[in-house]
A = this chain, B = another copy of it.
Amino acid sequence: MKLIITEVGLRDGIQNDAVFVPTADKIRLIQQLFDAGVRSVEATSFVSPQAVPQLVDAEDVIRGLRKPAGASVSALAPNVRGAHRAIRAGVDELVVFLSASESHNRKNVNRAVSDSLKGIEEIAELAAAHSVKVRGAIATAFGCPFEGDVPPQVVAGIARAFRAAGVTHLTLGDTTGMGTPAIVRRVCGEVLSAVSDAALSLHFHNTRGMAMVNVAEGLALGIAEYESSIAGIGGCPFAPGATGNICTEDMVNYLHECGHETGIDVARLTGVALEMERLLGRTLPGQLMRAGPRSRLHPMDSVRTAAAQPTA
C-alpha cells in the first residue's frame, strides 16, 4: 500500500522540550526530512509565543522552508488569530483540533467541545477563502487520561461535525497512548462508517509500548496515513520520562518491511534522528538509530568471542 507519513516532531515532538531548538536548526531539520523523502510535515504551531516559547518562531520557520515539489507543510492553528498568522506565513494546511472527551478539551483549551467546534467552523471558512487545506485532529480519540474510555460513537460524532464544517481530512490522536488494537479497530470502524468520504490519518503514542501494533491494526483496516515524530521525541505530560509519539524512522522501517511504500529513505531519516538527538543533548526513544538497519552486517571480530557468553 502507498502510505503518507506526516512528520510531527518539530511541533508535537519538541513543543514542551526544555531545550530550545534554534530556528535555523528547525529549518535545517525539516529540509533534511524533505531530502529523505518526507512530503508532509507539521512544522509548528501558531499558538501564543508566551504559551509555547519553543514555537515562538512559527512564522520564521514556515517562511524559511524551501519546499520540494509535492511537499505539504502544515501548522497547528489553535484559534482564528493563529489561523490568520499561519495563512499569512504560507502554510499549505491548517491543523485544527479538539479533544473527544470534554474534560481533556476543557483542560487543553479551556472550552467545551461544542465551542471548539464553532471556532473550527470559523477557521474552516477562513481557510476555504484562502484555498488552504484543513486537517481536523481529534485528540484522546482512543482514551482520555481523565475519563478513561471514549465511546467510539462520540469520536464518530465529532468526525461528522468536522465533515459538516467542510473538513474532510481527519486525524485520530492517541494523545496519552491509551490505544490498543481492539480500541483502534472499534473507533476507526465507527469513524470510517460515519464519514466514509474523509481521509483518515492515525497519530499514535508509544506510552505503553503499543504504538506499532496499533499502526498494524490501522494498516489492517486499510488506513494509509500515519503521523510520527523523528527519533520518537515528545513525552507524555502525565508520566515524566514516558515515551510519547511513535518514532518516525522505526515506523517507516517497519512499514517498508511489511512491503508498504512511503517514498522515504530510512537511512537518511535515521541521520536526521541522530541530528535531533545531538541537538537535544540526550538519548531519545528511537531504536533503529542505535541498532542500525537489519541489513547492516557485522564483522565477526566486532564482538568478543563468547564460548563464554551464550546468548539465546
Q: Contacts A109-B307, A175-B311, A309-B108: A147 and B288 contacting too (C-beta < 8 A)?
A: no
Cα distance A310–B173 when bound, in Å? 12
Determine if A307 and B12 form an interchain contact, defined as CB atoms under 8 angstroms apart: no
Interface residues of A in 1-43 (CB under 8 A from B): 8, 12, 15-16
Among B108, B237, B312, the residue within 8 A (CB) of A175 is B312
CA distance A108 to B292 in the complex (A): 21
Q: What residues on B are CB-neighbors of A247 within 8 Å?
A: 209
Whether the Cβ atoms of A254 and B180 lie closer than 8 Å is yes
Is B310 within 8 A of A148, CB to CB?
no
Contact A208-B291, Cβ < 8 Å, known A181-B258, A203-B312: yes
User: Known pairs A45-B310, A109-B310, A209-B287. 8 more at Cβ < 8 A?
Assistant: A78-B310, A107-B305, A108-B310, A110-B307, A145-B297, A180-B254, A207-B287, A213-B254
Q: How many copies does the complex hold?
A: 2
CB 8 Å contact bits of A163-185 with B (1 = contact, 0 = none):
00000000101011110111000
A297 — which chain B residues lie within 8 A by C-beta? 145-148
Asked if A69 lies at the interface with its beta carbon under 8 angstroms from chain B, I say no
Q: Does A308 contact B (CB under 8 A)?
A: yes
A51, B137: Cα distance in complex, Å: 55
A124 to B82, CA, bound (A): 71
Q: Which of A43-76 contact B (CB under 8 A)?
A: 45, 47-48, 50-52, 76
Of all chain B residues, the one with the shortest Cβ separation from A237 is B303
Report the minimal beta-carbon distance from A110 to chain B, rounded to whole angstroms.
4
Contact A52 B175 (CB under 8 A): no
Q: Which of A153-161, A190-198, A238-246 touches B? A: A238-246
- Report the Cα distance A293→B257, complex, angstroms: 30
Could you show 7 A-B contacts with beta carbons less than 8 Å apart? A16-B309, A47-B308, A51-B307, A177-B291, A180-B257, A207-B291, A209-B253
